[in-house]
Structure 1
Amino acid sequence: MEATFNIWKTSRATYLKFLENYSLEQLNKIPEGMSNNLIWNIGHIVVSQQGLVYRLSGLPMQVTPEMMDAFKNGSVPTGNTSLEEVNEIKALLISTMNQTISDYENGVFKEYTPYETKTGFSLQNLHDAIQFNNYHEGIHLGFMMKIKKFI
């Protein structure tokens, strides 16, 4: 799992750079012909990881129900994410990762409800979920690389 967690740390550091290097207006801009923006993608990967790892393990998530609704699959960004919300997402980007790694190392995860993703991946256990999460975050990073060309 060390390599998996190292990949995740690198991925989250890349997302953090977007939050540090783009203005609130740029983070919220939905380019013509696209369905989301930079901040939605970052919020989405945070809430998705929490659902895949914590909810399916029967544990409390570290995000609010309101945040889950705003960034879950099928949600649509409004283009009006506030600076306060961006700062919350920024903090969660790192804190959720650190907490997950700590919880994994401390044996907090005891059970897992199998889940099939919308892309057809069958997650049978926590390890599957953590590895799929890296794949999922990579997809959204690709979307963000495309979006940044238009803002």
Structure 2
Amino acid sequence: MEATFKILETSRNIYLKFLEGYTLEQLNKIPEGFSNNLIWNIGHIVVSQQGLIYRLSGLPVNVSDEMTEKYKNGSRPDGKTTQEEVDEIKHLLIVLAQQTKADFEAGKFQHYTEYQTKTGFHLANFKDAMEFSNYHEGIHLGMMMNIRKFL
């Protein structure tokens, strides 16, 4: 699991650079031909990781219901994310990755409800969920690299 957590840490630091390298206006811009923006992708990976890892392990998630609703699968951004919301996402981006590792090391992930993703991946346990979550973050990073060309 060491490599899996290293990938998560690296991924989150890349996302952090997006938050620090773009203005609020740029983070909120939905370029023509796209259905989302930079900040939505980052909020989405934070919320998704919590659902895939914590909720399916039978543990409470560490994000609000409002955040989950705003960034869950199938949601769409309104282009009006505030600086306060960006700051919260920035904080959660790093803290929740660290929390997941600490909770794993503390043995908190004992149970897992098997889950079939919409893309056809079968997640049978915590390890599967972590690896899929990292893969999912990579997909969204690719989307963000495309979006930034149009900012």
Which residues in structure 2 correspond to 1:119-130 (within 5 Å)?
119-130=119-130
Output the amino acid matched with 2:143: F
Aligned equivalent of 1:31: 31
For 2:45 and 2:65, locate their aligned partners in 1 and report how far apart those are by CA, in whole Å: 15
Deviation at 1:12, TM superposition (A): 0.4
For 1:107 and 1:8, locate their aligned partners in 2 and report how far apart those are by CA, in whole Å: 18
| TM-score, normalised with respect to structure 2 | 0.99
Aligned equivalent of 1:96: 96
Which residues in structure 2 correspond to 1:20-99 (within 5 Å)?
20-99=20-99
For 1:111 and 1:6, locate their aligned partners in 2 and report how far apart those are by CA, in whole Å: 23
**Residues 90-144 of structure 1: per-residue CA shift (max 9 Å, x gap):** 0000011000000001101110000000100000000000000010000000000
Deviation at 1:52, TM superposition (A): 0.1
Unaligned runs of 5+ in 2: none
Output the amino acid matched with 2:112: Y
**Residues 56-106 of structure 1: per-residue CA shift (max 9 Å, x gap):** 001000000000000000000000000000000000000110000000011
For 1:62 and 1:94, locate their aligned partners in 2 and report how far apart those are by CA, in whole Å: 12
Report the identity percentage: 68
For 1:141 and 1:118, locate their aligned partners in 2 and report how far apart those are by CA, in whole Å: 19
Unaligned runs of 5+ in 1: none
> Between Structure 1 and Structure 2, how many residues are aligned?
151
Aligned equivalent of 1:10: 10
Tell me which stretches of 4 or more aligned residues in structure 1 moved more than 2 Å: none
Aligned-pair Cα RMSD in Å: 0.4
For 1:110 and 1:8, locate their aligned partners in 2 and report how far apart those are by CA, in whole Å: 20
Is the partner of 2:51 in helix, strand or coil?
A: helix
| TM-score, normalised with respect to structure 1 | 0.99
Aligned equivalent of 1:137: 137
